[in-house]
Amino acid sequence: MSTATVTRASLGYLTAAEASEVVGMGSYAIVQLCKSGVLPSSQPGKAYLIAQHDLVAYIESHRVTGEVTA
């Protein structure tokens, strides 16, 4: 019989450092987005945890459409 291990990653959460690698920003910038409420997060201890779907929503909200304005 196998034992399932539940991890932060298996629950769909990233640390600020992991999120910064995905987005291409510094982890300090990610923490500031979390502190300001721009990027939803949880802080069960010292570390901010960002749900993967919230990070995707943040990325999508900053999507460049390629529209040219005169």
| Domains of the chain listed by start with CATH number | 13-61 (1.10.1660.10)
Confidence label for 66 from pLDDT (cuts 50, 70 and 90): confident
Burial (CB count <10 Å: 0-12, 13-18, 19+), residue 34: buried
> What are the backbone angles phi and psi of residue 39, rounded to the nearest 5°?
-115, 110
Confidence check: pLDDT of 47 > 80: yes
Taking a C-beta distance cutoff of 8 angstroms, is the pair 8, 51 a contact?
no
Confidence check: pLDDT of 67 > 90: no
Confidence label for 60 from pLDDT (cuts 50, 70 and 90): very high
Taking a C-beta distance cutoff of 8 angstroms, is the pair 17, 27 a contact?
yes
Convert the pLDDT of each residue in 5-32 to its tens digit.
878 877 899 999 999 999 999 999 999 9
